[in-house]
Each structure stands twice: as C-alpha cells, then as structure tokens.
Amino acid sequence: MNPAPLPRRQFLNRSLGVAAVVAMLKDQAWAAEAGAGKVKHSVCKWCYKDIPLETMCQAAKEIGLVSIELLDPPDFETLKKHGLHCAMVSFPTAMGPDNKKIGSIPHGFNRLENHALLVQAYEPLLKTSAEAGFKQVICFSGNRDSLSDEQGLENCAIGLKRLLPLCEKLGVTLVMELLNSKVNHPDYMCDHSAWGVALCEKLGSPHFKLLYDIYHMQIMEGDVIATIRKHHAHFAHYHTGGVPGRAEIDDTQELHYPAIIKAIQDTGYTGYLGQEFIPKKPDKLASLKQAVAICSVG
C-alpha cells in the first residue's frame, strides 16, 4: 500500500532540508578533500588588500591554505604565528636615479646599471627569508625600453650570477616571474616562457628558476599544458588567474584549471600553487575557497 502523497509545502520543506544537509556535508568534505590533495595551496595577499593580514591568516587556515605569499619581512612574524608558510617572498626595491624603484617590475636585472642596487637590496632579503625558513624570493627582468631580448638576457645573467653564490649558501632560490606584456605589464621583457627558459639554461643553477603564471602565459602564448609538460624542470612555482579579466577561476573564463593542475601534478611537482586572481564577487573569501576546491584534484 502506497502512503498518501505529502502536501506540496511539506514536501518542499523536507526536500529543502535534505538539500541543506547535503550541502553541509559537501562543505565539510571539501576541507578534507582540499587538505588531502597533492596541491599545497597558497594565496597572494596583494589580491586582498582590504583584508588585514591577521584576518587573512585566520581565513587561510579555515579554507585549507598552507601559505600566504608575496609578503615582506615585517609580515613574517604574523604568518608564523598562525603556522603558515610564505611560498614566495616579495621583491625588495632600492631608489635609483630619477626616482626609479630598482627591483620593481619595470626596473629589474636586464640593466647593468641596476645591478649594484639590486645586489644591495636582495642580499639582506635573501638572508632574512632563509632565517625564516622561506626558500623562494621573486625577481623580475625589467622592461625592454628598446633593449634587445638577447642583450637583456645577457645582462640578467650577469646580475643574477652575483647573487647565486649566496643563494646556494642559504638554500634559497631566486624565481623570475613570467608576466604578460600585452595587457598588464607593457614592454616587460620576460614575457614568454622560451626567453625565461633560455635564461635558466644560461645560468645552469638550481637556485634560479621561473614562476610560471598561468594567467599571464595564457594571454601571451597559450598552449599552457604542453608548455608545462615541456619545461616544468625550470618552473619553481605556479600562479592562477581567470582569463580574461584576472577574475575568479570558475566557469566564466576560458581556462579549465582541473586539467592544468593535473598536468602540473603529472610532472612530479611538489611545490605550492598560488591563487593570484582578483575576486570580483562581493564575498572575496568565498571566491578563494571555491578556487582552492577547483584546484584540489589530487
């Protein structure tokens, strides 16, 4: 004998109750799944400028992140208090002629006249980072400003060689970021993976590698998965970002991140994945949580 059908409102109430329970269970399972995956999750603090670092650390722990990156030495104490790592330390700058910030994205290692100030700025940062247990420090090529790619590569190698002995002694790696010169950083020199790989090969040191920014390289050259498979030995770190617009890495953009993360894992990579998208939705931390879940494919 079949039971009498439930009134519509009662049926909906029960159905919604079941849906809420299912959603809650999925949410609880998400954190365990994110922590159990092969990916070590990190986030770039600059994308959340309106959230204090203390608050960001607390949220990171709840979400399942193990690192907050692109931080400076004054931030290290707060980070370590929460048991978090800094997968990529931010860059130092020194004031040069005409108020140029030497060490910033436009004014990097591709100019011989920058090298003395760069060495002066990087040496203490490398030491402080090593003392804190943070083993990767970001750096930049600088803009072309009419300099040829060949000469810029040669100049970068000359300047970086001055720091590599200290990097080796400290066990720290200098990591040059691949950035797009089409949308965000006009005239930036290290804007194609081939140029960055050529610099790695010229230096021939395990203490100099590249930051493969998926967002930037999708804009400049595409072919993301094939590039990762071919050149992964030179990639020390990865960043995410939605294309176009550098927003959330969800189904509103053209990249399929689960496949990309799987390709990274298939190379044997055991480092960190830094979320570097700029949230457009009101709940920025919800967007970050979603991104971590999308990339937890291990």
DSSP 275: E
- Round the average pLDDT of the chain to a whole number and report it: 90
Amino acid at 295: C
Tell me what pLDDT residue 297 has. 87
Alpha helices, DSSP H only, in the chain? 8-36, 53-63, 73-81, 115-132, 149-161, 164-170, 193-203, 214-220, 224-231, 257-266, 284-295
In the predicted model, is pLDDT for residue 2 greater than 60? no
**How much is the average pLDDT of 76-80?**
98
Residue 213 and residue 178 in contact, taking contact as beta carbons nearer than 8 Å: yes
Q: What is residue 38's predicted lDDT score, i.e. its pLDDT?
A: 79
Q: Report pLDDT digits (tens) over 145-192.
A: 999 999 999 999 999 999 999 999 999 999 999 999 999 999 999 999
pLDDT in the model for residue 13: 44
How many helices (H) and strands (E) in the chain? 11, 9
- State what percent of residues in the chain have pLDDT above 90: 86
Give the model confidence (pLDDT) of 226-271 as tens digits: 999 999 999 999 999 999 999 999 999 999 999 999 999 999 999 9
Q: Which of 263, 136, 153, 133 is nearest to 203 (CA)?
A: 153
More confidently predicted of 139 and 32 = 139
Q: Is the pLDDT of residue 46 over 70?
A: yes
At residue 67, the pLDDT reads 98
**Banded model confidence at residue 43, pLDDT cuts 50, 70, 90:** very high
SS3 content of the chain, % helix, strand, coil (to 5): 50, 15, 35
**pLDDT(26) > 70:** no
Q: Which pLDDT does position 25 carry in this prediction?
A: 37
The verdict on whether omega for the bond into residue 244 sits within 30 degrees of 0, i.e. cis, is: yes
